[in-house]
Chains A and B, each alone.
Chain A
């Protein structure tokens, strides 16, 4: 097991280097000048542009630029963004907020999604099954910004159940509930459907029949034997989803004014703030890789037949 983890960690290094270079190249090779639009409706003064290019080595060829960047990153310095702020520091703050939001969304979608999926899967064709199928279809087909705006307007402004926004660096747990529900809603629907299909399928499988024949209680058959096996694809999905929640909450974070990573990447791309984007994405790549590792380790725990050694 230990050997497996070390091997996986070593594999991450080339992945990280390659992906950051690709992202760096893509961000900095975007057409147009990074100082465009920075000075209002007129082009920036020549002196300003020159100083800007010098600071970010924009006149050097791309590999040289990346060299400067990588050298700093290896020394633990993620550089400064265009506002002159430390990217590492800003990311740290923003990951705290987004992390909180992502964990809440994950718990919300995991708990409700799994319960709904199990109930629907056990009584396929019944009332609960139909209810789950129709409601999840609805959630999947409505774009998340519609859900977000509607929640903000009705739950936040009109009825005042939740705070309409979650501004600031350290929004309260309470103000994050609504954004987390919005953020987790789509995934919740997928989890419920995934769970339902798996349960419905596994319940007809040979080992469940064997368990029944052995006279095990229905609780044990469903709770231990069926559920554990059915969880594998769901765990894979949730692991991937956690990474996506950390990086891809651009719309939700925008609607609820959450100063998180999603908004950071979005404004970074819009302002051609290459250093900020590359820093944030590098952090996300690491999150994805670690989540992947955790998911793979969980497989072993859920189904002893899947061995990591």
Chain B
């Protein structure tokens, strides 16, 4: 009831605001107009549970509605389809969804649409890229096996049309916060008839509905008139123009062919050229969730076993200079193991050890027993990491005299395989992009015992206990405090060396306004308005 009245008011309000006299074609109300956004060709059909890259993700962002929506400014979760997500013990969650949400095909969004979609994504034989998001759910082990016969997560139960329950295998206090990721979007019944064909013509419940996808050329979505949520779109139509690279995309922005680019190419970052190209008020710089860091296999390389040696290496990296010279300022020197944009971030967790100080570094190295021989810094050759790894090695070499050599591995997979077989000596580059805006996402998957991205064989019982305690915390504040203590343990042991946080730099044309970047670093297209 309350929902219906809110959306009715919202509709009235936006209808009044619909004074657009531009090329507005549909009568959907709102601010109107058309946005042409830079895009790239999605790697997979547009299925929410099978899209882990940004090309498809950007499109699904405006097509789908999830239980939770992340505030583009603060990354704070806000209820979208969810009416409430309640729990008494952080292990049994009851999700109530709002009535009146509709899929683009007109059917209502019901509890079973979530449960069915999630079971499908988690089911191993379906081979969905987003399957691992369901890891905390009870029954995941059985369902996720590639040869599994069990099709349903035992932790999911439909109670009635608008209620379902989630049971996790351990206490997970931040579960509600996770549910805003695309992999948790509901799917309409029609999805299950032919998921492949569906992916070419997706149906979801978000503010925009799918119109057409002209392979390698453009994807068009238009405003969904029956959208019932609070995060509706402003423009009537969004066209994702597909570009082969960031450079061409940026040129198209300058030539007035498109209205917004997802990133500024390296060529325009030099000397902040984009600032004069675009002019004041047409670009945005904001830290994003990317964290680059250096991992070490100190079980394989005994010289790195002493924590002081690891700290010395960290202090020997001149972060600000490398950021300026190699990344043209498109990164920010890191001061901890957690991105500043997420809930629970604590400033300066790394302390003085992330500050360049050759004198102190030399002293630490001496105290730690020194380092003899060659130290390699392995990077994957398929990802453009050559320049900065070399710069890091130069810096280490210059500051404390360790013979550091940046060494390429063919690709990421090869590097990880070598790592898994304990064949990788010395240091290696790593990166992390969050799945959901929480401090926990920077700790559990990377440093948890046996976790998916724990390539370091890190195994610390105290850390495990602290993470478990945080998972069971009563309030988010308490949980964050405990997670910060867990981060403190990583800092104390200096398990990895944080280097820099990524920065989102987007630019737009004079035609559009209200441009914000989502916590995931893309422009928030739904909120963007057309000025003309």
Contacts and interface: CB of A to CB of B under 8 A. Distances in A.
Contacts of A79: none
Contact of B127 (A37, A47, A156, A256): A47
B382 to A, nearest CB: 6
A153 B257 CA distance: 15
Interface in B203-261: 214-218, 241-245, 247-249, 251-252, 254-255, 257
Nearest to A41: B431
Interface stretch (B42-50, B83-91, B367-375): B42-50
Given A45-B132, A164-B255, A257-B244, A32 B413 contact: yes
A8 interface: no
Interface in A26-68: 31-33, 35-52
B255 A163 contact: yes
Contacts of B196: 84
A51 B43 contact: no
Contacts of A40: 52-53, 433
A296 B417 CA distance: 52
A30 B144 CA distance: 30
B125 interface: yes
A149 to B, nearest CB: 9
A57 B199 CA distance: 23
A62 to B, nearest CB: 19
Interface residues of A, number: 46
Interface residues of B, number: 53
A47 B52 contact: no
Interface string A91-111: 001100000000000000000
B77 interface: no
A169 interface: yes
A292 interface: no
B433 A37 contact: no
A218 interface: no
Contacts of A32: 382, 410-411, 413-414
B414 A253 contact: no
Nearest to A33: B413
Contacts of A255: 247-248
Given A84-B45, A263-B244, A48 B218 contact: no
A253 B244 CA distance: 9
B248 A45 contact: no
Contacts of B241: 167
29 contacts: A32-B411, A33-B411, A36-B414, A37-B383, A37-B412, A38-B52, A39-B52, A40-B52, A42-B453, A45-B144, A47-B125, A47-B126, A48-B129, A50-B146, A51-B125, A51-B126, A84-B45, A90-B216, A157-B251, A164-B257, A165-B252, A165-B257, A167-B241, A169-B214, A254-B248, A257-B244, A257-B248, A259-B242, A267-B244
Contacts of A51: 125-127, 146
Given A165-B251, A165-B255, 9 more contacts: A32-B411, A46-B124, A47-B145, A83-B42, A152-B251, A169-B217, A256-B248, A257-B249, A259-B217
A168 interface: yes
A47 B53 contact: no
Contacts of A19: none
A94 B199 CA distance: 23
B416 interface: yes
A167 B243 contact: yes
A50 B419 CA distance: 21
Across the A-B interface, the 6 shortest Cβ-Cβ residue pairs: A51-B127, A36-B413, A257-B248, A47-B124, A164-B255, A32-B411
A165 B251 CA distance: 8
A50 B244 contact: no
A62 B125 CA distance: 25
Interface in A1-45: 31-33, 35-45
B131 interface: yes
A238 B248 CA distance: 29
A268 to B, nearest CB: 12
B53 to A, nearest CB: 6
B383 A164 contact: no
Contacts of B452: 42
A40 B56 CA distance: 12
Contacts of A84: 44-45, 196, 199
A82 interface: yes
Nearest to A250: B244
Contacts of A254: 244-245, 248
A250 to B, nearest CB: 10
B382 A37 contact: yes
**Counting chain B CB atoms within 10 Å of each CB, which of A36, A253, A256, A267 scores highest?**
A36
B41 interface: yes
Contacts of B129: 38-39, 44-45, 48
Contacts of A169: 214, 216-217
Interface in B382-403: 382-383
A210 interface: no
Nearest to B267: A149
A42 B410 CA distance: 16
A257 B416 contact: no
A39 B382 CA distance: 14
Nearest to B130: A45
B298 interface: no
Contact of B254 (A33, A37, A90, A157): A157
B144 A47 contact: yes
Nearest to A266: B244
A85 interface: yes
**Counting chain B CB atoms within 10 Å of each CB, which of A33, A167, A253 scores highest?**
A167
A48 to B, nearest CB: 4
B432 interface: yes
Contacts of A267: 244
Contact of A83 (B43, B217, B413, B453): B43
Contacts of A36: 382, 411-414
B335 interface: no
Interface in A197-256: 253-256
B354 to A, nearest CB: 21
A93 to B, nearest CB: 8
